[in-house]
Amino acid sequence: MATTSKRYSGPNDPRFAQNSGFLELIGIGGIGGALLGYAGAWESIALVKTGALLAPKAILEAVRLAGLMPPDYMPYLAAGAGIGAIAGAVAGYLVGDLKQEIHIRGRQLETIKQAAKALKPRKKAATGVSIHPNIPISEQQECRHFLLLGGSGSGKTSILWPMINQAAERGDKCLIFSFKGDFQQKADFPFTLLAPWDSRSAKWQLGRDIRTRLHAESLAKTLIPTPEKDPIWAQGAQGLLTAIISEVQSKYGQKWGFYRLAQACSIALSDYESLVQTVMNESPLARSFLMGKDSKTTASYLAQMASNLSDIINLGVADFSNNGKPWSVRDWLAGKSPNAAILGYLPESENLSQAYCSSIIEQTVKQILSFPDATPEARRMWLFLDEVPQAGKIPSITSALEAARSKGCRVVLGMQGVAQLEEHGYSKNTLRIWAGQCGVKIVANLSDPDDQKWASNLLGDRDLERYQANISVNNGSGNGGSSGQSGGYQRATESVMLPASFGTDLFVDESKNGGPQALILTSKTAAIVKWPFPVIHEQRPAFCEAEWMQHGFQRPRWGKTPPLVQMPEDKPKTGSNKAQNKAKQDEVQQQDDITYMSPNPQTQIQDTQDAGDILADAISDHAIGAALDAALTGGAGQLFEAMKGISELAGNSGGGNGGANALPKLPQNQQPRPKKEDEYFQKRDEAEAEAEEESEP
């Protein structure tokens, strides 16, 4: 269904202007049609009666002898004349029709049939997905990317669902960002869930994707976004974080995740000398950011770093407790996991969700861009990023739109408006750049005036000629007055769609056979089309809370590790000791990034705060506030002392379960296991220390 402007009928309608000849042509056509129909009826009667046609003179003779309407043939003759009159009048209407507007150049809204014809794949081109049930496109058109713009409740997801299902059914690689949680809830195809806050989530093997120094820099820029104002502090924090990530790479190779990264960040932020040593080993140029413990500049860099890395700590805890199947972008692109992967979102923690989702999307784009060129048919990969601003600032999206087309990647971006991008850290020109790189743009209902103006400018202007009537009245003193009407076509330039039309002509029809009505805009066509509501059913719960988010979970202990002690030179290293150390290290490595699980798992405890919780939270908040105030006024040394104090406070409060000693005793199956946990951490630290001793020359 396409929406077209109604035919104008008013004073400026050229059909009813004086001397237009429109009505005369209708009358002449009707009379001529009636005569032809009457003659045709006589011919039909003669053909039935005699088997031969009558000559015109014979018809006139029959009329003279039998009369104009003989009683026996009156119904047939009248019907013929009437049908002929109607047909002639219609022909006169079409011939004499004068348009009030004549399109000269520019875009104009077309019908859905015209849009389907314009986007129809060529004979030799491979047919791709259908962006509308009646509008299939080619795979070449798929790789030109898609932009969906529409306010909340405008039907963007209803438009997106059929495209996702078609891509998944075809076996394409699909990375889907599920901001509202409906994709993992209703998806009827195999997929991997990537959401550390969900108990069904896979476990991202970060080390498999962050393997080089360039990868480390990319991850640091994603975890610590660069703001438009005062970017120097974020850039300094990025340099320090790059050094920490490089140290984790050097120490663990590819066998590490957010747990090891969080542990390394905690050590670096709680021990200044350790951070300096890490920077000197991995990134000497970043040493210029560290000007001493008492430097306020250094304190500013570290405060910027600490404020952004709180999400890394939580992701480390999630990684620590995650027993899901290992997953990495590299293995996914290699076909070692389900073709579809869905990125979840936790509304109650936007920063945590953005840090995780933006990191995966960023690394996915980086690896796709490293692929060799391929035809759209040879490699099919999709990035379905509905509500993309909510995923955080992702620097590589622009690169994906610019260069991923030749790699076989299709990018689908959905958002609510221009201001939404700016609110999440993007520049004012970002949407303009993205729109220019997307070959298919679908605009749904927009309510914000600025968004409406932007969309109207996106559609552009057109030149046309519009008829303008002039009526003159002469009030004479003699026999009254006289009036006359004249007119002509005048050139005009106007918007193809007025800004207000994006709020009135585009809407969601809530009826039984309704659906969202939106504008399709490509380089070939522009049409307002109505989509049907997709038939989607719930397949599973949208969210299952992970254990680490539940009350009573024992968080890992972050802090400074014991200092390394070099082996005496006169003490030989026996082969048996090496074998024992290797066995112990292997045993710990098997538990790397895996949570400590009690044999009797704790049941979920009601989310209530008692006196112990409130007291611990109040003390922690006070300590954190005092620490930041002291750090910014007294330098980096006081910042590190404050971090140590907070760590000790957290340790005294029971590893994150503040006020545990003041609480009533839990049932036996819910008792914490501090002794076993201490043994686990002690065993792991001993193995790491011995392994490092073995590596000493």
- The Cα–Cα gap between 147 and 397 comes to 12
Amino acid residing at 600: N
**Exposed/middle/buried for residue 483 (C-beta within 10 Å: 0-12, 13-18, 19+):** exposed
Which distant-in-sequence residues (6+ apart) come within 8 Å of 312 by Cβ? 223, 258, 261, 262, 265, 355
Q: How high is the pLDDT of residue 593?
A: 37
SS3 (DSSP) at 212: coil
Amino acid residing at 588: V
Q: How high is the pLDDT of residue 71?
A: 85
162 — pLDDT class (breaks 50, 70, 90): very high
SS3 (DSSP) at 327: strand
CB 209 within 8 A of CB 261: no
Which distant-in-sequence residues (6+ apart) come within 8 Å of 89 by Cβ? 26, 27, 29, 30, 33
Q: Considering Cα of 190, then 191, then 192, then 196, what sign does the dihedral take?
A: negative
Q: Read off the pTM.
A: 0.72
Per-residue pLDDT of 341-354, as tens digits, reads 999 999 999 999 99
Give the number of other CB atoms < 10 A from CB of residue 151. 19
Angle formed at CA 423 by CA 422 and CA 428, multiple of 5 degrees: 10
489 — pLDDT class (breaks 50, 70, 90): confident
Q: Is 334 left (phi over 0), alpha (psi -120 to 50) or beta?
A: alpha
Minimal CA–CA distance to 669: which of 578, 587, 603, 580? Answer: 603
- The Cα–Cα gap between 542 and 177 comes to 14
Which distant-in-sequence residues (6+ apart) come within 8 Å of 613 by Cβ? 658, 659
Structure tokens at 147: 């932009």
pLDDT at 566 over 70: no
Structure tokens at 265: 């960040």
Give 492's strand partners. 464
% of the chain residues with pLDDT over 70 = 74
- Angle between helix 231-252 and 272-282 (nearest 10): 80
Task: Give the E-state strand segments of 284-356 in sequence order.
Answer: 326-327, 340-343
> Most confidently modeled of 35-44, 280-289, 470-479, 599-608?
35-44
Q: What is the DSSP letter of 13?
A: -
- The Cα–Cα gap between 641 and 648 comes to 11
SS3 (DSSP) at 516: strand
Q: How high is the pLDDT of residue 17?
A: 67
Give the number of other CB atoms < 10 A from CB of residue 83. 17
Kindly state the average pLDDT of the residues 110-132.
92
Tracing tokens 């990537």 back to the chain, one arrives at 194
The count of C-alpha atoms lying within 13 angstroms of the C-alpha of 168, restricted to the half-sphere facing its C-beta, is 20
pLDDT at 674 over 90: no
Q: How high is the pLDDT of residue 479?
A: 58
Q: Of 126-140, 488-502, 612-626, 657-671, which range is least confident?
A: 657-671
Q: How high is the pLDDT of residue 679?
A: 57
Per DSSP, the residues of 130-192 read EEETTEEEEHHHHTT-EEEE--TTSSHHHHHHHHHHHHHHTT-EEEEE-SSSHHHHH--S-EE
Give 521's strand partners. 441, 526
Which distant-in-sequence residues (6+ apart) come within 8 Å of 96 by Cβ? 15, 20, 21, 22, 23, 24, 25, 26
SS3 (DSSP) at 342: strand
Q: How high is the pLDDT of residue 383?
A: 98
Q: How high is the pLDDT of residue 455?
A: 95
